[in-house]
Chains A and B, each alone.
Chain A
Amino acid sequence: MEFKITKKANLLTMFLIVFGIVFTGIGVIVETTFHHHGEHLGQRISGNLLIDSFFFFAIGLGALFFLALQYATETGWYASVKRIIEAVAGFLPVGVGLLIVALLTITIQQGAHIYVWMDPQTVAHDELIQGKSAYLNIPFFWIRTLVYLGTYLLFWRGFKTRSLLEDQVGGTDIHFKNYKKAALFLVFFAVFSSTSSWDWIMSIDVHWFSTLFGWYVFAGMWCSTMIVLVTLTLYLKKKGYLPNVNESHIHDLGKWTFATSFLWSYLWFSQFMLIWYANIPEETTYHLTRIKDFKFLYFGMFIINFAFPMLLLMSRDAKRHAGVLTFVGMVVLFGHWVDVYIMVMAGSMGGSAYIGFMEIGLMLLVLGIFIKVVLTNLSKAPLTVKNHPFLDESIHHEI
């Protein structure tokens, strides 16, 4: 069955993009007129670009990871929603583009007070950063970034091509090839997901370090992805597509949302509690700045991302209820955006950061682009896969 983007959806994405641009424009004007003649303008724009490009790129990457996970574990039930996962993963090229724009913007401003280690003057007076400069320097940073992004894109293209090919030729060769490639991808991903979050996010708080950080960022990204997948599935189901998707599939996606929220909360707690408990100044500074400048958002975001799914998605019926899932999903998705917002802004703008026109505007803009790209991807490939070896299992999925 082919998916067609409805007029309403087109209108919505147009609105998001237009509003996004207008809001961003207002934000720029506000910043230049009212806030110290815009001395933070570059920092704020670059920071926001990083937040939104990373957040939505990560959702695409999360979908690619989830797809690879299904291949590598030879899961059966997901076959009916496979095209949806692929459509979200299909945001990757655009996401990569946006992320490169964001990182370039920062690089040409010598770090824009976000990556202070890019600024030679700061480094000259900072022994700690000097100690890290073998790793944190512009050329090596860009080499790593391009290697991560290149690898992801390469695997994404392979999975996409093979998936469409499988529809035509069938057989089990493609399945086993996917199995192997997925395992390989997961190896790269296991390393890159950690190191890339050190590079792109942790190096903002350049003096600070936490071994868990990469896994924490990864869990947040995975959770956001699951929310997008379940919401998108519900949307398509409501529009009358996806005849093979029944309550059990929705339930499974709901369970993943629940489980990944729990995983994220567990990692948040582990990191926070251990740093709180040991009380080492080098480490507590990270949370102290967050509590000082973002107390409400920081703890509010944790409570939302933990308690909402925990309480509302615990029961079996809730995990099958479209309304509950969508509501919880949207709130928690915003919660994870706030998480990324704080991760970037607390270490760079600190107390002068706030969610204003520019933050909302850029978020809406990238969200509009994201929805547009994902829906376009959906319309380009048949929504139901053919010849997938586990398709029959998935059609008869019942839990």
Chain B
Amino acid sequence: MHKEAAIREPLILGHKTYHDITQDVCKPIEDKAPRMWYILFAIALIIGLYGVGSIMYLLGTGIGTWGLNKTIGWAWDITNFVWWVGIGHAGTLISAVLLLFRQKWRMAINRSAEAMTIFAVFMAGLFPLIHMGRLWLAYWVLPLPNQFGSLWVNFNSPLLWDVFAISTYLSVSVVFWYIGLIPDFATLRDRVKRPIPKRMYSILSFGWSGRAKQWNRFELVSLVLAGVATPLVFSVHSIVSFDFATSVIPGWHTTIFPPYFVAGAVFSGFAMVQTLMLVMRKAMRLEAYIHTRHVEYMNIVIMVTGSIVGTAYITELFISWYSGVEYEAYAFINRATGPYWWAYWAMMTCNVISPQLMWIRPLRRSMIFTFIISIVVNIGMWFERYVIIVTSIHRDYLPSSWSMHYPSHIDLGVYVGTIGLFFVFFLLFARFFPVLPIAELKTILKSSGESYKNAPDTHHGHDDHSETENNNNH
């Protein structure tokens, strides 16, 4: 099936062959790492280690080192948790949902987006774990028999739902990602010459041979995993939203939270993908595979999800008035005009206004502009969580207990540290793993490759021949 309308832009630029694809993706792994990689890795590692240090100090000293205050029993850590989980939504969305929608452009980004997802969920998982205080007892969240404590874990609690949701999401994402990686590891295994990497990739590729039956299973497994991962993506952030929405706190309890959190997660996840992809395509010379069209597609997703988020903000705002519940109304007035007004308006500007600029075609096709917006969006989405969480609880029903949340330097250290760790993981991934799905890209070369698409006349011979064969079959 090599049918694609002429009106569609090619997804693989230049006159690539199957071998070129292998070559282009494997080259950066086989070559020596550029100096820039070491510099970036060192920076990320230092920041990451600072974070690890902060966590150590926190675990040794206690949660009192955080800036929590009176009614604000939950602020910085949960904000970061939700932020990272949200970022971790793009990968599986790209590889699962876009696979179901047969969006071929996903193939340029799904591998690294999924890697990003996995690392982001790692970072997210860290926050509830360290919030437990006694990290080594983290297994108590599992439903273990009673001698480990007096009770079973509470299955009525959204926090426990989170345990199940996040661990399912993480492990299924890893499996999904790895199943796609196996054929590409096999490609590397059959290419590299040096013995140690050859041995490594040989183990990693699980003895993949590319038999017809293996591919048959591979395609079905990808499809079924996509099928189960799609509702999973929706469920995970819905469950994260339940953490807040099941409560009775004005500003937290609202029914629109589940779908709105999902949209927000996809929004921030795609922004993070953009940030990483734009750097990666340059650094690893993958401009032929990740180009303007891909960036434009992602920007459209950002624009759409940003608009959904914006609609949800306005819906909440309107209903808080319409409901006639004065506490509800106050929660929103306080957000916009209270002491955290700057966070609220930062969120509004970054999340509602900035993606609307993507309506302008030259802007959404501009790499620099996209890069800036992708960072703006992630800042905005961080503020969104901060606004939702902190502004809703810093002034509760008793004015005597009204207070403010100021992050301590440990708060900052842990947060910045996770960003460092995230980049450590991502840089390692980019160095040793195939960052594009080699096998999958080859399947779209003939339908979406520039040389096949735009110049069918120059490609007489077998290609044309197969085209007519195909037509006869239908």
Binding site for B on A (CB under 8 A): 74, 76, 127-128, 131-132, 135, 172, 175, 187, 190-191, 194, 198, 207, 209-215, 255, 262, 266-267, 270-271, 273-275, 277-280, 282, 389-390, 392-393, 395-396, 398-399
Let me know if B324 and A131 touch, CB within 8 A.
Answer: yes
Could you say which residues of chain A place their CB within 8 Å of the CB of B100?
255
Let me know if B248 and A209 touch, CB within 8 A.
Answer: no
> How far, in angstroms, from A155 to B176 measured CA to CA in the complex?
42
Let me know if B315 and A76 touch, CB within 8 A.
Answer: no
Could you say which residues of chain B place their CB within 8 Å of the CB of A267?
258-259
Let me know if B474 and A214 touch, CB within 8 A.
Answer: no
Let me know if B315 and A278 touch, CB within 8 A.
Answer: no
Give A127's nearest chain B residue, CB to CB. Answer: B324
> How far, in angstroms, from A209 to B320 measured CA to CA in the complex?
9
Interface-centre pick from B253, B256, B474 (highest chain A CB count, 10 A) = B256
Is B8 part of the contact surface with A, judged by Cβ < 8 Å?
A: yes
Let me know if B322 and A132 touch, CB within 8 A.
Answer: yes
Let me know if B8 and A74 touch, CB within 8 A.
Answer: yes
> How far, in angstroms, from A280 to B255 measured CA to CA in the complex?
12
Let me know if B255 and A274 touch, CB within 8 A.
Answer: yes
Let me know if B5 and A270 touch, CB within 8 A.
Answer: no
Could you say which residues of chain A place their CB within 8 Å of the CB of B316?
211
A265 to chain B, nearest CB (A): 10
List 23 A-B residue pairs with CB atoms under 8 Å apart, sorted by A's residue number: A76-B4, A76-B5, A128-B324, A172-B7, A187-B307, A190-B311, A194-B315, A207-B324, A209-B323, A210-B256, A211-B255, A213-B255, A215-B256, A267-B259, A270-B255, A270-B258, A273-B246, A275-B255, A277-B246, A278-B253, A282-B323, A389-B5, A399-B102
* Chain A interface main SS type: helix
> How far, in angstroms, from A59 to B186 measured CA to CA in the complex?
50
A142 to chain B, nearest CB (A): 19
Could you say which residues of chain A place their CB within 8 Å of the CB of B312?
211
> How far, in angstroms, from A390 to B234 measured CA to CA in the complex?
31
Given A280-B248, A398-B1, CB of A211 within 8 Å of CB of B311: no
Is B231 part of the contact surface with A, judged by Cβ < 8 Å?
A: yes
Mark each residue of chain B from 292 to 322: 1 if its CB lies under 8 Å from any CB of chain A, else 0: 0000000000000001100110011001001
A310 to chain B, nearest CB (A): 11
Interface residues of B in 398-429 (CB under 8 A from A): none
Could you say which residues of chain A place their CB within 8 Å of the CB of B253?
274, 278, 280
Could you say which residues of chain A place their CB within 8 Å of the CB of B322?
132, 135, 198, 209
> How far, in angstroms, from A273 to B323 measured CA to CA in the complex?
19
Let me know if A270 and B311 touch, CB within 8 A.
Answer: no
Give A172's nearest chain B residue, CB to CB. Answer: B7
Give B7's nearest chain A residue, CB to CB. Answer: A389
> How far, in angstroms, from A399 to B3 measured CA to CA in the complex?
13
> How far, in angstroms, from A282 to B470 measured CA to CA in the complex?
63
B222 to chain A, nearest CB (A): 14
Let me know if B7 and A175 touch, CB within 8 A.
Answer: yes
> How far, in angstroms, from A395 to B473 measured CA to CA in the complex?
12
Let me know if B325 and A393 touch, CB within 8 A.
Answer: no
Let me know if A270 and B259 touch, CB within 8 A.
Answer: yes
> How far, in angstroms, from A273 to B474 measured CA to CA in the complex?
49
Given A190-B311, A209-B323, A212-B255, CB of A278 within 8 Å of CB of B246: yes
Is B81 part of the contact surface with A, judged by Cβ < 8 Å?
A: no
Given A76-B5, A131-B324, CB of A214 within 8 Å of CB of B255: no
